[in-house]
Structure 1
């Protein structure tokens, strides 16, 4: 995978608004953007797909008129889009927004995208398909525990940070070692990965779990009412395979299962709401480990505004001269 080029580290102030699905990021993002002269940059791995509007809860045409939005409708559902491309696209969008005299406001819930922007990307060495196939065969025949024991011998540092049940990263670590003769940890240290952004205020939006689950139920009802089933039928009629990564996302795969007759309508709606709640829980687990996130309740609008004002005042103030 070729890594898109990223220009120099962006040091101008950038705002980030994150939180679980359905927590209320859209309304707050519009208020922030209008108050602080921002343009919104999507931080969502699904909203980059064209023709997928209802199930991804994209900003409406009216909301896009109020505030410019970027990184929506970037690729078709059958096109590849990965974190490296997102980091390059988002950094360029931020750079252009700043050049226009506005401030970037990244909004969404895809933690991996934010991690790529703030911590940089690790360029995975090429792995021959023969090595990958051999390890997958061994996994099926010998089991995960034996492969993890092997990793503990050849790359104990990676084994320390990889959970024994994390099959994906276990195989990745062994692939890298077998393909290069060097450990994953060595590659990480050598590459000295660099972030794309350095001056960032991370705002996290949260609410009580029961309230969030009520909001998720309402979100599901709203998507159904707006025509999610019809949107999926249209995507299938356009020739998009139900097995595509984009079509396997929450909402879309549920409608596909209904159309295939696997689930009845009541079961489909129940599973859609349940899986959305589980996704929100995974998002909070991911973001909950971030020490630099300033968390606020949905009702704390003024406190959020004050936090942003303090950040911008500090970021834009000239440094004190020695002796001041």
Structure 2
């Protein structure tokens, strides 16, 4: 979708709390919200799904009673939900929160959602289904390497920023070129994406990797004890296909594999913890490249509060 989704960026101060899974964002977000009159807006691509509570580590009813939460339970597991819709939903939630005299506090770990809010969205030209089908057939018959070589010739700029193994974006770039006769990179330069939020403080939580991995192991144990397997059995009983994007996420696909008899219980828990650790590492790689994030340890409550107070004081002075 186009950057025109956001007609007027929000200039009111907005707090953002990000970090890898299990680092301790929930506890800090509640403390921040209660101290600075915030309402929490989810920044998580899995917590938007209904009926998926344990495996996504959603705020509990008790936590939601303490502080209003938004963008939880937005769609059913078989509904499509993309970054453009998130940006529109999150922006509207922030507007309403500000209208009530409170401050938005975005909390989560989905870097793509945050990027959409802070950098804007680009309109992707429509692609005829015949072009898409043809490229998918060529991918199956000729292989990714040949298609990437073709992209390097017709759109070297996009080829330079797309990993050779990133099949989705490789096909997208070729689709756009074939549909419009212009490289994807040229379309991007011609558009001026508009950010939804222009006055933000980004707070990041990090801790020693060994500590984080131990927290992840404990998180896995907690999810299992709270009934993750039963949650997945319920979703399957409701008719949700295990091949859905939502059901292929960490935790859910692991329980499905166990239920199918592909893994035994011990192997399932081992792979669930391992894959969660790998996901946390990818999150840190994404966020670690952003110089605008102010990093703190989860226990640094005093310095974090001081940072927020300074930001809000400066925002009032503008």
Shift of 1:130: 1.5
The aligned residue for residue 125 of structure 2 is 125
Give distance in 1, aligned partners of 2:2 and 2:314: 38
Go from structure 1 to structure 2 and tell me whether the alpha carbon gap of 1:201 and 1:2 turns closer, same or farther (over 3 Å shift): closer
Give distance in 2, aligned partners of 1:272 and 1:152: 37
Shift of 1:230: 0.8
Secondary structure at 1:106's aligned position in 2?
strand
Q: Cα deviation per residue 1:85-121 (whole Å; 9 max; x = unaligned)? A: 0000000000000000000000000000000000111
1:50 corresponds to 2:50: yes
Q: Cα deviation per residue 1:218-239 (whole Å; 9 max; x = unaligned)? A: 0000001111111111111111
The aligned residue for residue 107 of structure 1 is 107
Please, what TM-score do these two structures have when normalized by structure 1? 0.95
The aligned residue for residue 287 of structure 1 is 287
RMSD: 1.4
Q: Summarize the alignment of residues 14-29 of structure 1 with structure 2, pairs less than 5 Å apart.
A: 14-29=14-29
Q: Summarize the alignment of residues 135-174 of structure 1 with structure 2, pairs less than 5 Å apart.
A: 135-174=135-174
Is the Cα contact below 8 Å between 1:17 and 1:203 reproduced in 2?
A: yes
Give distance in 1, aligned partners of 2:229 and 2:51: 13
The aligned residue for residue 305 of structure 1 is 305
The aligned residue for residue 134 of structure 1 is 134
1:230 corresponds to 2:221: no
Shift of 1:163: 2.1
Is the Cα contact below 8 Å between 2:3 and 2:122 reproduced in 1?
A: no
Shift of 1:134: 1.5
Q: Which piece of structure 1 moves more, 161-170 or 300-309? A: 161-170
Give distance in 1, aligned partners of 2:312 and 2:304: 12
Q: Summarize the alignment of residues 1-324 of structure 1 with structure 2, pairs less than 5 Å apart.
A: 5-318=5-318
Is the Cα contact below 8 Å between 2:40 and 2:68 reproduced in 1?
A: yes
Give distance in 2, aligned partners of 1:253 and 1:160: 33
Give distance in 2, aligned partners of 1:292 and 1:5: 25
Q: Which piece of structure 1 moves more, 242-251 or 146-155? A: 146-155
Q: Cα deviation per residue 1:60-94 (whole Å; 9 max; x = unaligned)? A: 00000100000000111111111110000000000
Shift of 1:131: 1.1
Give distance in 2, aligned partners of 1:286 and 1:140: 30
How many pairs are equivalent?
318
Secondary structure at 2:39's aligned position in 1?
strand
